[in-house]
């Protein structure tokens, strides 16, 4: 490779774990950024080595990147463990790459700093500001309703991906970047810097320099992450009106630390955490506005009384010190405590006979009129059936119906895809309906919105009660009371359970087999059972 001894002797080996791929649209700037990270590592006296790891791009992977989150986590863990690596820069951004890389680094327990891809710049079409994901769904509904011509659709398509970077709404990518910063895994201020501004390049180089320092300090994830940091991550995702996916990922991240994060803990924090970030899809603005408004540090600075500001970070200072002096520049984007987007309960845990182990709803992204609702079920057995029937003019459905999709969970789909924002039937769109109560064992994109009850556990494919619901059954949700009720007698449920077909068999081989055999349900974070917890006394290379 052409190195002299002096190139690497007495220098920490710092790996740049890069999730760049030409099939990951959100990471298209990562080749440049890797060079900028390398510059920082060299400046600080380290020996940089770039190591590609699996890329999980939301746009082009089927059936869903979530199927592969744990695979990337395993790859990161083993790549860090089997090479002579002293510290790592984790380059991720698009949704699942963030939790996967954090989970892997935690399990390997090697000094690691996360470098988020940053969000795209805000998009404009005509005089409209477009937000990725959210406005795709919104304008697709208009197109189905017949309100948008071909050339307008093409215009939107050409504008909505403004630059390199992740979705610029508060989707899963930006939510998880904020969570990573709140956990203490990034440099201060990293979460909200847009992907293509000069500051993002400077962040890359600074991150490289810091990676060399943490190698000398031997500052490992286990040295700064605690149950209190995990709480900070959860409260942050709630306060920014973040993606429901953050709950699943944080449970999995905590699990790698040996910390059991429960949905009940999530419920407790949800009842006390205000939503102050006014960002789409639950609010009005985009990530670039959030950055210009002061960003995450400013938002967290105003929640000092709720957060655990004493938690340590990768930077050798506390979260409180990281947020010191951060000012809110724009009060519309980061709302004051006495005039928040919601005083609490932006995302809620529901329980009831249809979801014995819980389910979630992002109530701030729903039509408030539907948060207490009772209606007859319209059940789709799986995604293909839903696709083939949803726009059928003869489908017996009204605005009061409760649309239900099953076989869409971790096992059923498989992979726990983002099918939870079921489309509104075309005939109802044409009649002006834009939201309905929808229920599934799926997830939904962080950029999605609507009255969608998600992550029903146990899922139908694992024998959950959702498997037994029939079209016409009455379903009731009451979000203020945190309940979901299926109005069918226990005897009838037992009768249907006895007549239910056996559960699906495991796929016979390959990753799909490993996945189906070991994946956990939504309420426990969907990690593989054999990856949860810490390996006592493990050292790199010794299992
Ligand atoms: Fe990559 Fe949204 S598609 S972040
Ligand atoms: Mg997404």
Q: Do 106 and 254 fall into the same domain?
A: yes
Ligand 1, CB within 6 Å, residue ranges: 26, 58-59, 94-95, 166-167, 171, 173
SS3 225: coil
Q: Do 170 and 303 fall into the same domain?
A: yes
DSSP code for 539: B
Which residue is it, tokens 């009720």?
A: 485
Q: State the CATH number of the domain containing residue 368.
A: 3.50.30.80
Q: Do 127 and 91 fall into the same domain?
A: no
Spatial CB neighbours of 214, under 8 Å, sequence gap ≥ 6: 87, 111, 112, 113, 314
Last residue of a domain, one of 160, 188, 215: 160
Residues in the chain: 543
Q: Do 127 and 217 fall into the same domain?
A: no
| Residue 542 scores a pLDDT above 90 | no
- CB-based contact 89:17 (threshold 8 Å): yes
Which of 20, 21, 23, 26 has the most ligand 1 atoms within 8 A of CB, as the residue to mutate? 26
pLDDT digits (tens, 9 = 90+) for 139-198: 999 999 999 999 999 999 999 999 999 999 999 999 999 999 999 999 999 999 999 999
Q: Do 271 and 398 fall into the same domain?
A: no
Domain that holds residue 243: 5-122+163-323
Q: Is residue 339 part of a domain?
A: no
| Residue 315 scores a pLDDT above 60 | yes
d(C-alpha 193, C-alpha 205), whole Å: 14
Ligand nearest to the CA of 168: 1
Ligand 2 ion: residues within 5 Å (CB): 58, 95, 171-172, 445-446
Last residue of a domain, one of 160, 177, 212: 160
Q: Do 109 and 132 fall into the same domain?
A: no
Residue 17's nearest CA partner among 95, 96, 102 is: 102
What is the whole-number distance in angstroms between the Cα of residue 93 and the centre of ligand 2? 11
Q: Do 65 and 171 fall into the same domain?
A: yes
Q: Is residue 509 part of a domain?
A: no
User: Residue 126, class by beta-carbon neighbours within 10 Å (0-12 exposed, 13-18 middle, 19+ buried)?
Assistant: exposed
Q: Do 181 and 193 fall into the same domain?
A: yes
Q: Do 50 and 72 fall into the same domain?
A: yes
Residue 81's nearest CA partner among 53, 59, 62 is: 53
What is the whole-number distance in angstroms between the Cα of residue 479 and the centre of ligand 1? 29
d(C-alpha 267, C-alpha 84), whole Å: 42
At residue 535, the pLDDT reads 78
* Ligand 1 nearest atom to the CA of residue 446, by list position: 2
* Ligand 1 nearest atom to the CA of residue 172, by list position: 4
Q: Provide the domain count of the chain.
A: 3
Residue 484's nearest CA partner among 448, 455, 521, 444 is: 455
d(C-alpha 300, C-alpha 306), whole Å: 9
SS3 308: coil
Q: Is residue 506 part of a domain?
A: no
Q: Is residue 371 part of a domain?
A: yes
pLDDT range class, residue 58, cuts 50, 70, 90: very high
Q: Is residue 527 part of a domain?
A: no
Q: Is residue 218 part of a domain?
A: yes
Residue 180 has which token pair? 């990573």
Q: Is residue 536 part of a domain?
A: no
Q: Do 243 and 365 fall into the same domain?
A: no
pLDDT digits (tens, 9 = 90+) for 100-115: 999 999 999 999 999 9
Q: Do 147 and 179 fall into the same domain?
A: no
* Mean pLDDT over each residue of the chain, to the nearest integer: 96
d(C-alpha 413, C-alpha 390), whole Å: 18
User: Once rounded to an integer, what is the mean pLDDT over residues 261-277?
Assistant: 97
Q: Is residue 507 part of a domain?
A: no
Prediction pTM value: 0.97
Which of 24, 121, 173, 178 has the most ligand 1 atoms within 8 A of CB, as the residue to mutate? 173
| CA-proximal residue: ligand 1, atom 3 (nearest) | 58
At residue 538, the pLDDT reads 53
Q: Do 370 and 297 fall into the same domain?
A: no
At residue 281, the pLDDT reads 94
């Amino acid at each position: 490779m052409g190195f002299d001894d002096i190139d690497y002797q007495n220098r920490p080996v710092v790996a740049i774990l890069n999730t760049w791929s030409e099939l990951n649209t959100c990471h298209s700037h990562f080749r440049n950024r890797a060079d900028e990270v390398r510059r920082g590592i060299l400046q600080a006296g380290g020996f940089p080595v770039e190591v590609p790891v699996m890329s999980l791009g939301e746009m082009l992977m089927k059936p869903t990147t979530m199927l592969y989150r744990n695979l990337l986590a395993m790859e990161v863990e083993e790549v860090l463990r089997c090479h002579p690596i002293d510290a790592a820069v984790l380059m991720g951004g698009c949704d699942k790459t963030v939790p996967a890389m954090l989970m892997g680094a935690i399990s390997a327990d090697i000094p690691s700093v996360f470098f988020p891809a940053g969000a795209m710049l805000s998009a404009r079409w005509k005089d409209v500001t477009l937000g990725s994901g959210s406005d795709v769904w919104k304008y697709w509904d208009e197109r189905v309703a017949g309100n948008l011509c071909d050339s307008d659709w093409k215009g939107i398509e050409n504008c909505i991906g403004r630059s390199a970077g992740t979705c610029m709404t508060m989707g899963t990518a930006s939510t998880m970047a904020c969570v990573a910063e709140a956990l203490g895994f990034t440099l201060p201020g990293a979460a909200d810097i847009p992907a293509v501004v000069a500051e993002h390049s400077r962040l890359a180089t600074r991150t490289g320099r810091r990676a060399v320092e943490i190698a000398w300090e031997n500052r490992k994830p286990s040295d700064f992450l605690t149950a209190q940091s995990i709480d900070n991550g959860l409260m942050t995702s709630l306060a920014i009106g973040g993606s429901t996916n953050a709950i699943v990922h944080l449970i999995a991240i905590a699990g790698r630390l040996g910390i059991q994060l429960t949905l009940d803990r999530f419920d407790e924090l949800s009842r006390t955490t205000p939503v102050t970030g006014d960002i789409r899809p639950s609010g009005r603005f985009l990530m670039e506005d959030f950055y210009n408004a002061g960003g995450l540090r400013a938002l967290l600075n105003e929640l000092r009384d709720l957060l655990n500001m004493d938690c340590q970070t990768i930077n050798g200072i506390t979260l409180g010190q990281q947020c010191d002096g951060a000012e809110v520049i724009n009060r519309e984007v980061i709302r004051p405590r006495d005039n928040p987007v919601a005083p609490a309960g932006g995302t809620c845990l529901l329980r009831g006979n249809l979801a014995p182990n819980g389910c979630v709803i992002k109530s701030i992204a729903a039509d408030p009129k539907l948060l207490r609702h009772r209606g007859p079920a319209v059940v789709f057995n799986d995604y293909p059936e839903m696709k083939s029937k949803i726009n059928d003019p003869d489908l017996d459905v009204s605005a009061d119906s409760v649309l239900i999709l099953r076989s869409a969970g971790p096992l059923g789909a498989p992979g726990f895809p983002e099918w939870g924002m079921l489309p509104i039937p075309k005939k109802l769109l044409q009649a002006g309906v834009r939201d309905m109560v929808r229920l599934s064992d799926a997830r939904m994109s962080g950029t999605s919105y609507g009255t969608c009850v998600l992550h029903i556990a146990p899922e139908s494919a694992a024998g959950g009660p959702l498997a037994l619901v029939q079209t016409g059954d009455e379903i009731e949700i009451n979000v203020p009371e945190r309940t979901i009720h299926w109005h069918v007698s226990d005897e009838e449920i037992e009768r249907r359970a006895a007549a239910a077909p056996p559960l699906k068999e495991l796929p016979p081989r390959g990753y799909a087999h490993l996945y189906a055999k070991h994946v956990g349900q939504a309420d426990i974070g969907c990690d593989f059972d054999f990856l949860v917890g810490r390996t006592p006394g493990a050292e790199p290379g010794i299992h």
